[in-house]
Amino acid sequence: MSLIYCLFGLQLCNGQSTTSKSVERPNIIFLMTDDQRWDNMGCYGKPEFYTPNINKLSKEGITFDNAYYAVAICMPSRVTMMTGRYNSNHRVGFVAPDDYTLSQADFAKGYPAILKKAGYRTGFVGKVGFTVTKETQRPSTPKEHFYKENLGSTFDFFAGSETQPQKGLELWPENDLALQEIYREGRTNTGRTLKTGEAMLRFLETQPDNQPFCLSVSFYAVKHDSDKHMYMPHYEQFKNKDFTVAENWVEGDNEELPKVVKENARGVYLHRQRSSKPEQYQRLVRRFATQGYTVDEQVGKLIEKLKEKGILENTIIIYTSDNGRFQGSHGLFDKCLLYDEAVKAPLIIYDGRKSATERSRREDALVSSVDMAPTIVSLAGLEIPKSMQGRDITGVLNKTQDMSQWRDAVFMEDLFLVDMFKAKYNPKADEINQKLIEENKSYRARGVRTKKWKYFVYYEHNPRIEELYDVANDPLEQNNLVHSVEHTQVLKELRKKTEELYKKAVQ
């Protein structure tokens, strides 16, 4: 599936020149949902979540079983996937001291700008989730975003907003009346996911035949669960369905959580409010399933449009989310914290250029969300900028990678504190942050995930709090082995690995 061997103009992907004939560059579509937990779809083992089109994409593509987020909350996760940089490196996030916007110069090193410069037509539809400014500035959540001013030179087609389409939406090309009609105020039907799907198809309808394209589609779903965020006709098939409950779902409070998490993390009180009782859990999951099905329907329409235009065989489709969500597992309802429900990612990559036998399989290689940008650049046959910290996974995709040289662990971090989020516009945010640390209220964490082990540490707490799980035998992370004498050596090794990867991340 890699274009490592492919030519781009008269340049090999590794930069060496050649006189061989150039091959056609692939179209690339990057699909991202919002807050969709990795197992909330049929192809990841839960057919009660009815996702037939995504299941088919999975069956005909490569489905990753060990994909993880480098950071599991929307703003920094989106920046990580677009730039190929870790949160501690790009420092775009919700809370001080890592609450910067992304500069235009850094955005220009992300995959959309690189492909645009190389001649791709570029499009963006949906939730942006972060702010680009001329120079980096704080806080990361200014009142206005000025997308046309800051993103107009990168995207030829744009239908995006910060968090919801009815707030701060900007559209271009301005003379595309059909695009304007999709988002016309008062238009009957549609709802946010159907509008996103229509705009996605509009991009394809306006695509020239003689130019490759890169389209990034960021669904607002499956986040939120009110009627106004859902396409209610799709709710009918789920409204009376009882979904299975994860074995690590906790009714009421979870007394096993670290004290600093129980007393300070947002996911604890949100669980009390939203998922701590059986009837609450069922209500929420039915609604998440509804939104997942509506997204699935758009994926089906996308495939049909690509077939209609005769370009599916030269198109690569990547499907993932920006982070997971606990849904009551561990007695939590949020994301961020480094348990698998938040940090494990769905990842499907379909390459229409490959035969069915070449492109269809499950893949267990460890990959990270930080790998998305360098991989997209590589798939386009372009040179990966040195600023990108992730790894190009095209060798994994086409089985040319020497797996003995592949990574044995992925790095992940959580820099979010809800008390700091509440202080995001406070000019004394840095002082408030330092006070929280001194009062032992910080639950910022970093750690590593291997195929067998999960380790993370709440590194600003004094003394440090650590968690260690044998995820091969304890996938629900119920038995913390950090105080187990027989696991002392493993603990030392994973501590060391975490610090090594952290030092590389901040460089």
Query: How do residues 315-328 score in pLDDT, each as one tens digit?
Result: 999 999 999 999 99
- Name the burial class of residue 190, with classes exposed (0-12), middle (13-18) and buried (19+) by CB atoms within 10 angstroms of its CB: middle
Which tens digits make up the pLDDT trace of 268-311?
A: 999 999 999 999 999 999 999 999 999 999 999 999 999 999 99
What is the rounded end-to-end Cα distance, in angstroms, of the chain? 30
Backbone φ and ψ for 234, nearest 5 degrees, come out as: -75, -15
Q: Which two three-digit tokens encode residue 488?
A: 């002392």
Whether 21 shows a pLDDT value over 80: the answer reads no
Whether 99 shows a pLDDT value over 90: the answer reads yes
H/E segment holding residue 1: none
Distance of CA 454 to the CA centre of its chain: 20
Residue with tokens 């979870």: 254
pLDDT for res 167:
81
Which tens digits make up the pLDDT trace of 131-154?
A: 999 999 999 999 888 999 999 999
Half-sphere exposure of 30 (CA within 13 A, CB side): 26
pLDDT for res 388:
98
Asked if the peptide bond before residue 79 counts as cis, ω within 30 degrees of 0, the response is no
Closest CA to 109 of 312, 376, 422: 376
Q: Which two three-digit tokens encode residue 279?
A: 């009837």
pLDDT for res 361:
97
Whether 502 shows a pLDDT value over 50: the answer reads yes
Whether 22 shows a pLDDT value over 70: the answer reads no
pLDDT for res 165:
81
Amino acid in the structure at residue 282: Q
d(CA 349, CA 365): 13
Q: Average pLDDT for residues 180-185, to the nearest whole number?
A: 93
d(CA 99, CA 79): 12
Q: Which two three-digit tokens encode residue 334?
A: 């949020």
Superfamily of domain 7-236+288-401: Alkaline Phosphatase, subunit A (3.40.720.10)
Backbone φ and ψ for 117, nearest 5 degrees, come out as: -65, -30
Which tens digits make up the pLDDT trace of 460-489?
A: 999 999 999 999 999 999 999 999 999 999
Which tens digits make up the pLDDT trace of 426-443?
A: 999 999 999 999 999 999
Backbone φ and ψ for 263, nearest 5 degrees, come out as: -90, -15
In the predicted model, what is the mean pLDDT of the chain? 94
Outline where 391-487 has alpha helix (H). Answer: 394-397, 418-422, 429-438
d(CA 380, CA 398): 15
Q: How confident is the model at residue 101 (pLDDT cuts 50, 70, 90)?
A: very high
Which tens digits make up the pLDDT trace of 227-244?
A: 989 999 999 999 999 999
pLDDT for res 23:
62
Query: Which are the contacts of 161, defined by CB distance < 8 A and separation ≥ 6?
Result: 127, 128, 167, 168, 169, 170
Residue with tokens 């490759």: 212
d(CA 487, CA 430): 38
Q: Which two three-digit tokens encode residue 302?
A: 């996308």
Judged by DSSP in three states, 320 sits in strand
> What percent of the chain has pLDDT above 70?
95
Do 245 and 46 touch, CB atoms closer than 8 A?
Answer: no
The domain ranges of the chain are 7-236+288-401, 411-506
Which tens digits make up the pLDDT trace of 391-440?
A: 999 999 999 999 999 999 999 999 999 999 999 999 999 999 999 999 99
Is 15 or 24 the better-scoring residue by pLDDT? 24
Amino acid in the structure at residue 374: P
> What percent of the chain has pLDDT above 90?
90
Outline where 84-169 has alpha helix (H). Answer: 87-90, 104-107, 111-117, 147-151
CA dihedral for 414, 131, 297, 316, sign (positive or negative): negative
| CATH (one of 3.30.1120.10, 3.60.15.10, 3.40.50.300, 3.40.50.2000) for 411-506 | 3.30.1120.10
d(CA 351, CA 28): 9
pLDDT for res 164:
82
pLDDT for res 403:
97
Structure pTM?
0.94
d(CA 121, CA 311): 15
Q: Average pLDDT for residues 341-366, to the nearest whole number?
A: 96
Residue with tokens 């490196």: 89
Put the strands of the sheet holding 62-64 in their side by side order: 170-172, 157-161, 121-127, 213-218, 27-33, 315-321, 348-351, 62-64, 361-363
Do 74 and 421 touch, CB atoms closer than 8 A?
Answer: no
Q: Report the phi/psi class of residue 186: left, alpha or beta, with left for phi > 0 and alpha for psi in -120 to 50.
A: left
Beta bridge partners of 319: 31, 348
d(CA 435, CA 433): 5
pLDDT for res 189:
66
Largest CA distance in the chain: 68
d(CA 62, CA 408): 20
H/E segment holding residue 205: helix 192-205
How does 414-433 read in b/e, with b if 16+ C-beta sit within 10 Å? bbbbbbbbebeeeeebeebb
Amino acid in the structure at residue 501: L
Which tens digits make up the pLDDT trace of 27-64?
A: 999 999 999 999 999 999 999 999 999 999 999 999 99
Q: How confident is the model at residue 18 (pLDDT cuts 50, 70, 90)?
A: very low
